[in-house]
Every structure is written in C-alpha cells, then in structure tokens.
C-alpha cells in the first residue's frame, strides 16, 4: 500500500466500501475521523508495551 492506495489503484476507503457492499451491507458510508482521547490512549499503551 502506497499513498493510501492498494495494489489495484483504489483507495483503502474504496476497497473497504466495495468489500462491504459485496458482503450485502448496503448504504455504508466510510469517512476519516480524528482520533479521540481513547484512541490516543490505546496507541500509547500499545507503544509502551512493545
């Protein structure tokens, strides 16, 4: 994966969206969000344990 693209030239979001549609999950929306305090804490905890 390079620059948010997967081997087929689609973005990660497009690839995930297509996968979910193919599994029967219609009306799915995918969007990037800013990480919250819980996300940051989990990332720091994971880093500390490594």
Q: What is the pLDDT of residues 12-47, one digit of tens each?
A: 889 999 999 999 999 999 988 898 999 999 888 886
Residue 3 falls inside a structural domain: no
Give me the pLDDT at residue 43, please.
87
Number of folded domains that form the chain: 1
Q: Please state, in angstroms and as integers, the Cα–Cα distance from residue 5 to each residue in 18, 23, 25, following that order.
A: 14, 21, 22
- Tell me the residue range of the domain where 35 lies: 12-49
Please check whether residue 45 lies inside any domain of the structure. Answer: yes
Residue 17 lies in a domain: yes
Other beta carbons less than 10 A from residue 29's beta carbon: 6
pLDDT at 50 over 60: no
Q: Does any domain span residue 26?
A: yes
């Amino acid at each position: 994966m390079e620059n948010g693209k997967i081997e087929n030239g689609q973005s990660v979001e497009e690839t995930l969206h297509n996968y979910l549609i193919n599994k029967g999950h219609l009306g799915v929306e995918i969007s990037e969000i800013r990480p919250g305090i819980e996300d940051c804490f989990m990332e720091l905890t994971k880093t500390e344990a490594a």
